[in-house]
Amino acid sequence: MNICGIVYGRPDITPCGTEVSLWNYYKRLAKMGNLVHIIFDISTHAGITKQRMIIEENIYLHGVGLPLGRATNKVKRYIHFCKNLIAEIENIHKHYGLDLIAYHSCYAIPTVKYVKNGSCKNVPIVYHTYAALPFELGAYIMHMTLNERDARTLLDKISKYFFFTMFERTIVRMADAIIVASPATIYELYRAYGIQYNKVFVVPLGQDFSDYYKEMKRKYNIDKLLSKVKKKKVILFVGNDWHRKGVLYLLKAFKRILPLIPDVELIMTGPPQEPFVSLAYRWNIRNNIKFVGNVDKDILVRLYMLCDVFVLPSFHEGFSNTVLEAMAFGKPVVTSFKAGYPLVKHGVNGFLCKPHEYEKIADYICMLLTDDDLYKRVSSEAAKTAERYTWDKVTLLLLKVYEGIISGEDERVSMKRFLHS
């Protein structure tokens, strides 16, 4: 099978969710013998000027557009990228004969119509998405803190969403199939665009930490080792968009926890954002919070191992890979219904509540940090759940879906049955 995937950033070095997911899927598809071409916007990375490169067996990277620094105008760069993308897809099809074209973000959507009308008109087009854009925009606007609602920030965010929503409406109709990571997104696509379920396939995200953590426990008894060196209980939050991910209510919950459990600290990844840093100072909880910024995979692994509880009170998620990763390390999660679905079962492998219910968030964290029996039970169940969602398993499911789309045979695979096999 010859596959062409299109994404915004270079996937093997970009630490964003869409790029990371594509890379985990496609490097495994390549190892299975499939030929993979990945096209990305070359202007997203300084110093990258080589347009075509083979970085692993059966994986070709194609950087298109203007190299960073060649054009300062964003509109000019974007138009150049779209033109070059269409030409690059045609060129790849001419030399290799594509079986499937997969768009992995809304960034390149304006090119779909031209690709469909060119030499690739008989090649199936798939749209991978994690949420319907109108729902994601709604979550952002509704839950911005008031002092962040300056005209420039809000207008910029809204304009980007409206621009890409127009094109998403086109691709969900023109695409031969849509692949989502969670069943909840099917409902969003129906509500936003009237897309029927028979066009949508569910392929969840995965993780590759379960075996690694088991090996660390076997070799070094890592949990016992950490308990000896840790001086405080650790709550971990991982995320970039702090407004949408409910950081305001996480801080409110942490403010309630500190008087009850003084020897606890909150570690937060992602670029520190206002007004949250200022709130931490104002509420006198800053000394117990570590803002560590963006982290690479090695540091993230250490944070997962170090933490006692993982928290994500997000207002909107397609499929939370960070929740899954934390569970792979046997960490109980306290999260929202949106972020926890379909992984978390309340009271079994974690706890669920609405994002703004910060009192419940605080109560669940305190329960886990003070009840050893509860902690061990939830931790064990979390690890068992994560083992069903490995990247190897979900990539096999994606391969079956791709093969069905190419052959035209709509043989749907039960995600639940497949992952439990």
pLDDT digits (tens, 9 = 90+) for 311-321: 999 998 889 99
Q: What are phi and psi of 278, to 5 degrees?
A: -65, -40
Co-location of 282 and 192 in the same domain: no
Tokens of 153: 């920030």
Note whether 9 and 375 are within 8 A (CB): no
How far apart are alpha carbons 291 and 274 in whole angstroms?
12
Torsion of CA 245, 247, 252, 255, to 10 degrees: 130
Note whether 279 and 251 are within 8 A (CB): yes
- The 10s digit of each residue's pLDDT in 189-244 is 998 888 878 889 999 999 988 877 777 766 666 666 566 557 789 999 999 888 88
Note whether 390 and 418 are within 8 A (CB): no
Co-location of 57 and 123 in the same domain: yes
Co-location of 122 and 70 in the same domain: yes
Q: How many CB atoms lie within 10 A of CB 421?
A: 9
Co-location of 337 and 404 in the same domain: no
How far apart are alpha carbons 421 and 412 in whole angstroms?
16
Q: What residue numbers bound the domain in which 180 lies?
A: 2-206+390-420
Average pLDDT, the chain: 86
Co-location of 233 and 265 in the same domain: yes
Co-location of 380 and 405 in the same domain: no
* Total count of domains within the chain: 2
Co-location of 239 and 279 in the same domain: yes
pLDDT at 332 over 80: yes
Co-location of 240 and 276 in the same domain: yes
> Bigger pLDDT: 101 or 166?
101
Note whether 78 and 111 are within 8 A (CB): no
pLDDT over 90 for what percent of the chain? 56
Residue 335, strand partner residues: 312, 352
Averaged pLDDT for residues 174-201: 89
Tokens of 232: 């405080």
Per-residue pLDDT band at 417 (split at 50, 70, 90) = low
How far apart are alpha carbons 164 and 168 in whole angstroms?
6
Note whether 367 and 350 are within 8 A (CB): no
Residue 200, strand partner residues: 178
Give the three-state DSSP class for 48: coil
State the pLDDT at residue 365.
98
- The 10s digit of each residue's pLDDT in 355-401 is 999 999 999 999 999 999 999 999 999 999 999 999 999 999 999 99
E strands, 206-296, in order: 233-237, 264-269, 289-293
Give the three-state DSSP class for 316: coil
State the pLDDT at residue 34.
97
Annotate 322-341 with b (16+ C-beta within 10 A) or e (fewer).
Answer: bbbbbbbbbbbbbbbebbbb
How far apart are alpha carbons 277 and 292 in whole angstroms?
12
pLDDT at 113 over 90: no
Co-location of 320 and 257 in the same domain: yes
Lowest mean pLDDT among 48-52, 102-106, 339-343, 394-398: 48-52
Note whether 325 and 304 are within 8 A (CB): yes
Co-location of 201 and 328 in the same domain: no
Per-residue pLDDT band at 170 (split at 50, 70, 90) = confident
Which CATH number goes with the domain that contains 255?
3.40.50.2000
Q: For the whole model, what pTM was predicted?
A: 0.86
Co-location of 155 and 229 in the same domain: no
Co-location of 368 and 402 in the same domain: no
State the pLDDT at residue 149.
47
Residue 264, strand partner residues: 233
State the pLDDT at residue 45.
72
